[in-house]
Structure formats: C-alpha cells, structure tokens
Amino acid sequence: MKFGVIVFPGSNCDHDAFHAASQNFGQQAEYIWHDSGGLGDVDAVILPGGFAYGDYLRCGAIAKFSKVMGAVRRFARDGGLVLGVCNGFQILVEAGLLPGALIRNRGLKFICREVGLRVETRSPFTGAARIGQVLRMPIAHGEGCYIGDERTLDELEAEDRVAFRYVDNPNGSMRDIAGILSKERNVMGMMPHPERACDPLMGSSDGLLVFQSMLEAAVRV
C-alpha cells in the first residue's frame, strides 16, 4: 500500500505521518507538496497535523484553497481513502469534505496529552479494532472542539458516522466527538494523532490500528 502525505506550509506532523506509515507500519509513503495538481499512484492520502499557512485565519481556511485540495477532492469522490489528523481534520471541514466546525477548546488553552478514544463504528479506518474498544492516543491542539448544529449531529449518529468519541472529553467537543466519517465513509477526520501512537516507545501503539484498517480496506477494494 502507498500512502501520500500532503505537505502544506506550516505542516509539522508530516514527518510523523511519513515515519508511521513507512517505518512503523512498513508500507510505502511519499510526500505530496501543496502546489501539486495530482496525487500520483497513492492508495490513501493523509492530511497531517500542524499549522497550515500559519492558521492566520480559521484553522484550515487558507489550506482549502491549495492546488492539491482539488486533487484530494477528486480522489475522495472516486472512493479513495482520505485521513485528516488534527489540522488535517480542520482542513477537511473547511473544504466541505466533512460537516461541522472546529473551534477553540472549551478552556481556551492548548492541550497536549494522551486521551482515551472509544471506537464507535466499523469503517475503513476502524475495521481492525472492536466496536467499544478504547484506544490510547495523544492530542495536541488549541482548536479541537468539534461543533455542529443539532441536525448535523443527529445525522452523524443516525448514519453511524461518528468514528471515535472521547472517553474523558478534553476540549468540550459536542457529544464527545473525536472523529467523524463522510457519508461515503471513505473520508475521516480525527483530532487525536494515530501517527504518534505507532510505537510502544511512545507510550502506545494503538494508532497502528487505524493504518491497519486502511490497509485491509484497500486490499478488499
């Protein structure tokens, strides 16, 4: 399997994602610059964490206009797997690939610590885990509070598109939501960092389940 890691000016988890996919998980990976008009022959795309374009407007609001996002939209439309982590989640929301919004944490402080995530559904990103299983992954964000109107939240739950919920909500996200899926279930955004939980030396290797799930989904296709 080949992962494409999008690199925006200000990305700071692109190397983490590349290392997790290629070294920890043992698959191919390549960087894709934000000004690229295509994605090449990748099987899955990762939008990594960081501060794309310095987050000078809303997080992800500038990155959504990057040339590469046209290619990401086409890839997603054709059924390709797209994973947005932290800032990547924010970009997917701003680009309209996922619903809702991400705003300042409830306590108005940047939070960096490990959290518990409960797996809520089977999907191409969670299929290697059990529903109800609690995974340990770190968060590192100042604007990770997920919000949406009641109709959006009800729709996410009715369509079983909430991928993860926080066990102990750290940021005030509505309905404890930590990760969501697109209607077609091939795009997922999540605030916790699976790429930083791929080696026991980092305190947890639970993040590998996300990569394993994507691999299994790609093989089935």
Catalytic annotation, residues: 86, 193, 195
Secondary structure of the chain in HEC code, one letter for each residue: CEEEEEECCCECCHHHHHHHHHHHCCCEEEEEECCCCCCCCCCEEEECCECHHHHCCCCCCCHHHCHHHHHHHHHHHCCCEEEEECHHHHHHHHCCCCCCEEECCCCCCCEEEEEEEEECCCCCCCCCCCCCCEEEEEEEECCCEEECCHHHHHHHHHCCCEEEEECCCCCCCHHHEEEEECCCCCEEEECCCHHHCCEHHHCECCCHHHHHHHHHHHHHC
